[in-house]
Structure 1
Amino acid sequence: MPPLQPLAASGLSLVAAPVLVLVLVLSGCGGAAVPGLGGEDAAEAAETPELGACRDLTPADVAQPSNQTETVPCAEPHTAQTYAVGEVPDDLRDLDHDDDAIGAFAYETCTEKLQGFLGADQSLALRTILSWAWFRPTEEAWAAGARWYRCDVVGGNDQLEELIALPETAEGLLLGRAADRWMTCVDGETVAEGRKVPCSQPHDWRAVTTIKLGEDADPYPGDRLVEVRTRDFCSDSVGAWLNYPVDYDYAYSYFHEAEWQAGNRRSICWARTPD
């Protein structure tokens, strides 16, 4: 994915500075292929995964395109839960298992289904510490005819050394007022130089609002227009969120055309606050 373009500002005057931005992790869209499987392992890889199953995955696991980690009872410690499974569309079935078109389908499908599963709107889904990973059959299983996909909600993001344990079920986890432990903050002088942490931990920045920059059918308006609209909105939005102080620090991040084409229409506003 191309890098996102963020800026930071103090008060109402823009000060250019790099800022790390929040984006739902597309883990499982690439990475090294898993070793070849045979026998019972190959048969297991060809089977459609179980909806609702829980697994104790690691960051290394979610970096792989395929995963056959054993499931665990959801009442036991786990870091991932399968919230969507299905078959790839007919027009993608004859493609290679790592074709970009399949990744684009998984991005759109897993993103949409994640919001419904967690009980989050688009804005909240962009600001949660939770992420998702998608998995496909191994190359050998794909060649044998397996065409399933699997979307897992994951406790954490790509900056955490260890993933966060999920509750027995993550369904509806963000309904109502989401707990700070599930929201994204940054610990550091700037968002770029800091690290993303749950807002229940000490932090300096919080992702507080987002702005929708277009509808699904709209063409990409260009980097400059996206930046200006994001900057102007975040200046006002963060000021309002902080209850209109005399001076305040805010940051904003916006996406480029590649993310727009993948379906993202929102930029993110950050408030400098330890709360």
Structure 2
Amino acid sequence: MKRIALLACAVALVAAAAGCGPAQAGDGDLVDDWAMLAAAKVPEPAAGACWTTTATNVGDLGDVVLSQQPCDMDHVVETVSVGHFTGDAAKGSSRPKGAALAAAWTDCDKAVGDYLGGEWQSARVFVVVNPPSDRQWDGGARFYRCDIGALRSEAGTLEPRKATMKGAVAGDLKLGCGTLVGTTQNSWDDITPASCTDPHDAEYVGTVSSPVKEYPADEKAYDAAFGKSCETKMLSYIGMSHTSWGSQKALYYGYWMTGDEDEWAAGNHSARCYAMIDKKKINRSLKGAGDGQV
């Protein structure tokens, strides 16, 4: 019985209860000597984080949850940098979207260009400004992620990678020649990458940004926003005069916008311009080709 009593006293000491040893001095207040707990805070992401998802197309990314993944494993999104909303954008009751993302878009556009080593539109790349989720926003989060991902083609199919996209503008994602998919009289469904020495009917010639404020609502508005500037970009790329351009039988140009209506409102008015060839394919680049018939 004595041994049992000693064990009971040892347990009581661990629990810091009175009755198993001499009384300890104190002020009798059990609360005032404890530090206050820090306020709860939503964890912030870090630049360099990589993410995976069940989505297969960039258009579906807004409907799925991204899971962080080691960058040497298959991932579809990389966080280039992390910024913070300020001013009116930080005061809203809900996370910013559309025009309220303008300052964040400008920041991300520059950060992504620095990360990729050049104009991001010249590579098979998409850019997303990711504000906090609704729950994170309600919890006080005011950060945004500048995210990028690789594309297999213009139609937005995601391309998982095990390697970083840093410097990709000059690497394997650089836009060049391609093959038109699903062509009709006035449109096409996709442009898939192709070597310029293999048969192809499209070639990237540069990116333009439209000064038009309103998002293009129809074919006429699209042409007003990008047509003339893409024509100029194509002729400069080929080194072709307007006189020769007027006599071409197979050559024309096209453009592919890099963002949707919300991104347009945030400030992304860019489109990729392509030289295109009607009803035939060639196996050479048009860059610097001059005034000859295509």
TM-score by length of 1: 0.61
Query: Could you tell me how far apart the structure 1 residues matched to 2:122 and 2:251 are?
Result: 18
Q: Which has the higher contact order (CA 8 A, sep 6+)?
A: 1
Cα distance change of structure 1 residues 263 and 54 upon mapping to structure 2, 3 Å threshold: closer
Counterpart of 1:209 in structure 2 is 206
Is contact 2:105–2:266 with CA below 8 Å preserved after alignment?
no
CA distance in 1, matches of 2:52, 2:97: 28
Letter in 1 for 2:255: S
Q: 1:274, CA displacement in angstroms?
A: 5.0
Moved over 4 A (4+): 64-68, 200-203, 211-214, 222-228, 244-248, 258-261
The one-letter amino acid of 2:142's match is R
* From 250, 253, 256, the counterpart of 2:252: 250
TM-aligned CA distance change 1:264 to 1:99, over 3 Å:
closer
Partner of 1:77: 74
The superposition leaves residues 4-23 of structure 1 with CA deviations (integer Å, 9 ceiling, x where unpaired) of xxxxxxxxxxxxxxxxxxxx
| Overall identity of the aligned pairs, in % | 18
Q: Which runs of 5+ in 1 are unaligned?
A: 1-42
Cα deviation code 1:91-145 (max 9, x no counterpart): 3111221443333333322222211110113xxx323211122322221221121
Aligned pairs for 1:218-237 within 5 A: 229-230=228-229, 232-234=231-233, 236-237=235-236
How many Å separate the matches in 2 of 1:193 and 1:265? 19
Whether 2:161 is the aligned partner of 1:169: answer: no
Retained in 2: the 8 A contact 1:108–1:262?
yes
Given the alignment, which residue of 99, 102, 127 partners 1:101? 99
Larger mean Cα displacement after TM superposition, 99-108 or 139-148? 99-108
The TM-score with structure 2 as length reference comes to: 0.58
Corresponding residue of 1:25: none
SS at match of 1:174: helix
Cα shift at 1:236:
2.3
**C-alpha contact 1:234 1:251 (8 A) present in aligned 2:** no
CA distance 1:66–1:262, change in 2 (3 Å) = same
The structure with the largest alpha-carbon Rg is 2
Name the SS of the counterpart of 2:114 in structure 1. Answer: helix
